[in-house]
Amino acid sequence: MCSQVVSESEQEELIDRLEIFKIHGRDKQGRKILRIIGKFFPARLLSVEVLKRYLAERVYPRLGKKAFTVLYVHTGVQRSENFAGISALRSIYDAIPANVKENLQAVYFVHPGLQARLFLATFGRLFFNGVGGLYGKLRYVNRLDYLWEHVRRHEVEIPEFVMDHDEDLEYRPMMDYGLESDHRRVYGAPAVDSPALSIYSMRCIS
């Protein structure tokens, strides 16, 4: 939970402004895509309850009652800034309605990296498994070229920093496994410039 006094309306406004969750485009089987940009997720600013309510009121209803897929972009994610914590993830996952879990057909996990793979191999099997479970639907995508085998390329917006990183991986493939430095390259994200939010130390979810 948030330890700073950030109003719930401000948190919801921030989620909207950063476009963390965006439903647009379709995969090659005609299913809706829920795009999630991990680097845009301000974990220290959001409370679990606000996030769960936001998803329940503004995301799940728009998915309808048909099958859909998730495109999760992990590029540039920093644990200290973008990781909500294991307990928060479990709480959010448990709050997903059963019909939404059943309609989810695949999660395309772009640029997973070694740490993410190890985390999911350990905790994913424990927390996100079972009937309709998320773990069994994960599809690791190391390069964008592989993504276009499943997703209609011109229907999904991919941030420029993701494409830049993908190009780097073409020439330095060992970066995929955490064995080569990326020279602290800084990737852009929408600015958190709201005066009401900038004064906080960004310590929320743990």
Q: Which pairs from 142-148 meet CB under 8 Å and 24+ separation?
A: 142/111, 142/112, 142/169, 142/176, 143/169, 143/170, 144/110, 147/71, 147/108, 147/110
Which whole number is the average pLDDT over 188-198? 43
Q: List the Cα angle 194/95/201 in 5-degree steps.
A: 25
Task: Give the pLDDT score at 184.
Answer: 40
Task: Give the pLDDT score at 131.
Answer: 52
Name the H helices within the chain.
Answer: 8-18, 48-54, 60-63, 79-82, 86-94, 98-103, 113-119, 125-127, 144-147, 160-171, 195-198
Task: Give the pLDDT score at 191.
Answer: 44
Characterize the bridge pairing of strands 32-37 and 21-26.
antiparallel
CB 70 within 8 A of CB 33: yes
Return phi, psi of residue 119, to 5°: -60, -50
Per-residue pLDDT tens for 168-191?
888 876 666 554 444 444 444 444
Percent over 90 (pLDDT), the chain: 58
Residue 202 vs residues 2, 10, 41, 144: alpha-carbon distances, Å: 9, 13, 12, 32
pTM for the predicted model, two decimal places: 0.80
Residue 33 has pLDDT above 50, yes or no: yes
Task: Give the pLDDT score at 84.
Answer: 85
CB 134 within 8 A of CB 102: no
Greater pLDDT, 87 or 16: 16
Residue 75 vs residues 71, 129, 161, 163, 180: alpha-carbon distances, Å: 12, 24, 8, 9, 15
CB 100 within 8 A of CB 93: no
Amino acid code (one letter) for 17: R
Per-residue pLDDT tens for 90-130?
899 889 999 999 999 999 999 998 888 888 888 877 777 66
* Cβ neighbours for 130, distance < 8 A, ≥ 6 positions apart: none
- CATH topology for the 8-173 domain: Phosphatidylinositol Transfer Protein Sec14p (3.40.525)
